[in-house]
A and B are shown apart, each in its own frame.
Chain A
């Protein structure tokens, strides 16, 4: 059952290599287009202020062990005090921010633009692949798969006795789609817009709500146990200085 089919060299020249090259070029194009189309919107003052408060609280939590207990407590009360603490938000205002965010036209436009720039090239390329490159065996994947994958990988090929390792060009397209992410992260620098599966995961966890992050920070600040990390600091400083003098 492991006879090797001999495939035409023309398939390699005109299907595999062009498809990969086109996908790489489209990825690069998409990266530059998204860079050019990035519109700078003026950040809202209130949102920035809340963001900075959260950052301060987080720094306090991270470095809590380096300040004495009393000063840590004083800072913590400043943040989470019931009446006028910075992180405490009355319950009534908690729901507004989310509704406001979704009706904010700028942000909705931004999200739509990002989504479109992701979906359109994929759809177009997929349609192009289906139209031109269907109905023949394109490649052989080097590892064996079970029969259940046959319908997924071989949808242009109507022979049922061909080994499942011989796949159509649609599956070559999907293989490229996932495998070129690593290549893009190497040649395009930092995490970029072509990492669409990561973007999809982010989209499902959307629901950014500033008041919710404030109360989350308040809770985590309340949990922190203070442990004074520099107890014998004078002795240690003395030891270091002695070593230097010697």
Chain B
């Protein structure tokens, strides 16, 4: 995927599928969560620059942000081969965690790129 950098670390299996009861390896779970956070931050910065260059204003820009976040979720799910339960404890963590955390960085870089390209 263009611009999708996975921080070089691989996701590790957090659960052992041979038990009936799900047990989690806390360290791997934390590592996977960190990977999600880095991916989202990086993509929100890149998305901000793209939105600024393309000249989106107002609502279109925010819609683009949510689109970027959805693409991130899709990419992460594909990387986990869609078997979420062996890497994370629940779906929400992959889809919704840190959704709004990248918004401020996105707005900063969006403003920056927009100004440089269009106003000046």
Q: Which residues of A contact B (CB under 8 A)?
A: 4-9, 11-12, 16, 20, 65, 139-144, 175-176, 178-183, 185-186, 229, 240
- Given A142-B61, A182-B41, A186-B38, is A12 in contact with B111 using a C-beta cutoff of 8 Å? no
Question: If the complex has contacts A12-B120, A143-B62, are A175 and B107 also in contact, measured as CB distance less than 8 A?
Answer: yes
- Name 15 interchain pairs, CB-CB below 8 A, sorted by A: A4-B119, A7-B119, A140-B115, A141-B111, A142-B52, A142-B110, A143-B57, A175-B107, A178-B108, A182-B45, A183-B41, A183-B45, A185-B37, A229-B20, A240-B18
Nearest chain A CB to B98 CB, angstrom units: 10
Q: Is the CB of B57 within 8 A of A182?
A: no
B75 contacts chain A at the CB level, 8 A cutoff: no
Within the complex, which residue of B37, B58, B108 is in contact with A179, where a contact is CB–CB below 8 Å? B108
| A144–B102 touching, CB < 8 Å | no
Instruction: Choose one: A20, A65, A182; the contact of B44 (CB below 8 Å).
Output: A182
Which 6 residue pairs are nearest across A and B when measured between Cβ atoms?
A179-B108, A182-B105, A12-B120, A182-B41, A178-B104, A142-B57
A-contact 0/1 string along B99-120, CB 8 Å cutoff: 0011011011111101110011
User: Is B116 in contact with A182, judged by CB distance below 8 angstroms?
Assistant: no
Q: Are B102 and A182 in contact, with the CB atoms below 8 A?
A: yes
Whole-angstrom distance between the alpha carbons of A182 and B104 in the complex? 8
| In contact, A143 and B21 (Cβ under 8 angstroms) | no
Please indicate the chain A residues that have their CB under 8 angstroms from the CB of B38 in the complex.
Answer: 185-186
CB distance from B72 to the nearest CB of A (A): 13
Asked if B108 contacts A144 (CB within 8 A), the reply is no
Q: Which of A5, A12, A186 has the most CB of B within 10 A?
A: A186
In the complex, which range does the number of interface residues on chain B fall in?
20 to 34
Q: Which residues of B contact A6 (CB under 8 A)?
A: 119
Bound: A161/B61 CA distance, A: 25
Chain B's nearest CB lies how many Å from the CB of A231?
10
Residue of B nearest to A179 (CB): B108
Q: State whether A229 and B108 are in contact (beta carbons under 8 Å apart), knowing that A143-B58, A186-B41 are contacts in the complex.
A: no
CB distance from A225 to the nearest CB of B (A): 15
Complex contact B45–A140 (CB within 8 A): no
Once the chains bind, are B105 and A179 in contact (CB under 8 Å)? yes
What residues on B are CB-neighbors of A141 within 8 Å? 107, 111
User: Which residues of chain A come closer than 8 Å to B57, judged between CB atoms?
Assistant: 142-144
Q: How far is the CA of A143 from the CA of B110 in the complex (A)?
A: 10
Asked if B101 and A182 make an inter-chain contact with CB atoms under 8 angstroms apart, the answer reads: yes
Q: Indicate which residue in A5, A20, A185, A240 contacts B41 across the interface (CB closer than 8 Å).
A: A185
